A and B are shown apart, each in its own frame.
Chain A
């Protein structure tokens, strides 16, 4: 093909035209190619976050939600703080950037939570008689000194009043045919994904950073209802 192209004798005018055409199509081409790459990065980040929620939920599902104390340190192995230690699964591994003294030893080096914008919400539901009888909601942003980051988008605007798994939402989804008494734990991650290329035009339509919301729900036997004490 190149050989055949060489056979053409191009005039200055045609060369200029070609450059002009190239100049016109190259940005479009680049936007498309970079856009596809950006989407790939985004999907990769999304899958990472989904996997982390799954691992965190599985960690929580075999532990006792009543284990709550003031141990907010992922590296201390002595005391189990059910909620914080579950969130620790989503912290960066030791020795990676973003790891700090109390939020470290997690699984994935590619997802580093931003305390100012990101959040991990862990909700425990006790279901008795086919309805939520008790629930506890933990927001990691409170530990980080922020306030309910899960309610906001990555631009700081309030966009929701409750996490995805609220008592009302869970109640609306329970099946009457399923066992009446059980416990569930839900792990939700609200992660602001910074676009790698920040491609002009695209960022005019798709916010940068873009929020990734992923969740996993698991059975939590330890949250099943206990007998109501008789006075």
Chain B
């Protein structure tokens, strides 16, 4: 027993000295715990980033090695050791069946595809890092290993590829001439139509980047109407085969070359040859009064062609002032085509085209026209009512069909993407027969107008991007700044195509009543388009298609014929492959856990 008096001396110091050891021990533990916390936080966020980078590689249809390298680089950039990375996929061998031997937590998340569950693009990433210890080093513990894992997911893709197949898609073929009728059946047969071939190869390259068994693809083409090449589905090989077999350049009716010469142009009072713009219906050269029928009502035309009294003066289908015609348009005459009488529908009397270029109508003009129509339709009856149109770029048709593919077959939770390629300005719209929301009374769709007037005089093109017109039932649902109308013109095929863009992608509008679209991400490609209305429209498509907002336009200050945002300019078909590959690389990834 120590004596109390002597023991009191220095007691606090002794107690403190003893306590200090314990205190220092706990302080040391606290510091080491902090080190462990910080290291774990650093490791966790690095694993998160790296797993996203790895999942990103699904877009390139990468294998596990490439994904691991992508993850390693993120570790390197985040200053974390990457030597312990472990990466896994649900289906490494891409046989459509979930692999065995997966980490239990990961296997639980991987869909059992053998049991019919839809595959998912999941990436499992695990890493270990040694947290440095400072105090415990004194006890021989220098580091403590920390392990964390994460699962990231690249969203499955539902991709629609929409390709323009109008005749100009053969414009780089060796035997193609701008000023002569062209029959693409030859190059279609040998698959040598250019730039169509490059577009097809680029589309197949894009499909190659999709993940077999995970992603769906659809292929749609459009010219004067839309064509479903391959409905949205998982069979990527079948989609590529369909592109090879079914995507062909459309043989446009040779209206521009075969319509009667005086309908195209003629000498003015000074003897100078000037265009007779709008002298016939560009949607149907047989229909001069715009009612959809061959018969033309004199009350609408404003004149009565002298078929009864002097049919001889109309052998060239042009009634001149010298022959007694009125001159309401200053052309020195008016067009006349033969009809079978009021109310007739079939067969049309095909005489708007001088098929044999003789300058006068002959029976062969009728028979050749019908034979051409028959060769491009499925029945005699269809040939009888064939509409000879000079136009073949119905972008709105392609957009409508593409969006419908996603609306009908797109999966919840997948990213909906549309890649739209066109080489020209919009000059057609749907009609009632192809889209029943369009009034049946509009026989020419939204290529409204009349002789010599818009839109006949512009070949159905709308060269005024603004003002925009709105054809909605109520003006309250119109796009902000647009003008409500119920006629065409003013509402145009371009306005229709813009509305199709909105219905596909628009998610933001300052008009709360304006209908919203389906949030489809659209990438548009202008193939050798000029910097005019064709490119303006494709850029509008990309502006809405990137964030659902028409007001935010990455191209607003970009020079014409330049790629910007989600719009790509391709000066020739040779550029398409790179563009499609770039689009494939830009599709977003989302993290799941």
Contacts and interface: CB of A to CB of B under 8 A. Distances in A.
Contacts of A196: none
B118 interface: no
A225 to B, nearest CB: 8
Given A174-B73, A175-B73, A178-B72, A229 B563 contact: yes
B347 interface: no
Interface of A: 7-11, 14, 17-18, 21-22, 24-25, 29, 32-33, 35-36, 39-40, 43, 46-47, 50-51, 53-54, 57-58, 61-62, 64, 66-67, 69, 78-80, 165, 170, 173-175, 177-179, 181-182, 184, 216-219, 221-222, 224-227, 229-230
B585 interface: yes
Interface in B305-335: none
Given A17-B8, A21-B13, A22-B12, 6 more contacts: A9-B5, A32-B23, A219-B589, A221-B588, A222-B586, A224-B585
Contacts of B52: 61, 218-219
B16 interface: yes
Contacts of B587: 221
B8 A43 contact: no
B121 to A, nearest CB: 14
Interface stretch (B38-46, B101-109, B397-405, B483-491): B38-46
A221 B49 CA distance: 12
B70 A179 contact: yes
Given A32-B23, A40-B34, A229-B561, A181 B585 contact: yes
Nearest to B40: A47
Interface string B506-522: 00101000000000000
A177 to B, nearest CB: 4
Given A36-B30, A179-B57, A226-B582, A43 B73 contact: no
A170 B78 CA distance: 10
B515 to A, nearest CB: 19
B482 interface: no
A226 B575 CA distance: 12
Contact of B49 (A78, A218, A230): A218
B409 interface: no
Contact of A18 (B8, B38, B72): B8
B591 interface: yes
Interface string B569-593: 1010001001100100111111100
B72 A227 contact: no
Interface string B15-43: 01000000110110011001001100110
B476 interface: no
B27 A226 contact: no
20 contacts: A14-B9, A24-B13, A25-B16, A32-B24, A47-B38, A50-B38, A54-B45, A57-B49, A62-B589, A64-B554, A66-B554, A78-B510, A178-B73, A179-B62, A182-B70, A219-B589, A221-B586, A222-B588, A224-B586, A225-B582
Nearest to A127: B73
A1 B188 CA distance: 102
A80 B56 CA distance: 23
Contact of A62 (B31, B42, B562, B590): B590
B10 interface: yes
A190 B34 CA distance: 20
B299 interface: no
Contacts of A225: 582
Given A18-B12, A221-B585, A227 B568 contact: yes
Contacts of A17: 8-10
A62 B588 contact: yes
Interface of B: 4-5, 7-13, 16, 23-24, 26-27, 30-31, 34, 37-38, 41-42, 45, 48-49, 52-53, 56-57, 59-60, 62, 66, 69-70, 72-74, 76-78, 508, 510, 546-547, 551-552, 554, 561-563, 565, 568-569, 571, 575, 578-579, 582, 585-591
Contacts of A165: 77
A79 B552 contact: yes
**From B16, B42, B45, residue with most partner A Cβ within 10 Å:** B45
A66 B565 contact: yes
A83 to B, nearest CB: 15
A10 B3 CA distance: 11
Contacts of A46: 38
A107 B275 CA distance: 66
Contacts of A216: 45, 49, 78
Contacts, number: 155
Given A7-B4, A8-B8, A40-B30, A50 B42 contact: yes
Contacts of B5: 9, 11, 14
B586 A67 contact: no
A42 B40 CA distance: 16
A48 to B, nearest CB: 10
A64 B546 contact: yes
Contacts of B591: 58
List of 3 A-B pairs having minimum Cβ-Cβ separation, nearest first: A21-B12, A178-B73, A14-B8
Given A25-B13, A39-B34, A177-B69, A226 B563 contact: yes
B78 A227 contact: no
Contacts of B586: 221-222, 224
Nearest to A63: B547
Contacts of B547: 64, 67, 80
B578 A179 contact: no
A86 to B, nearest CB: 15
A32 B28 CA distance: 11
Contacts of B59: 221
Given A10-B8, A222-B586, A224-B582, A229 B27 contact: no
Nearest to B72: A175
A216 B46 CA distance: 8
Contact of B76 (A69, A175, A182): A175
Contact of B578 (A21, A66, A227): A227
B222 to A, nearest CB: 24
Nearest to B42: A50
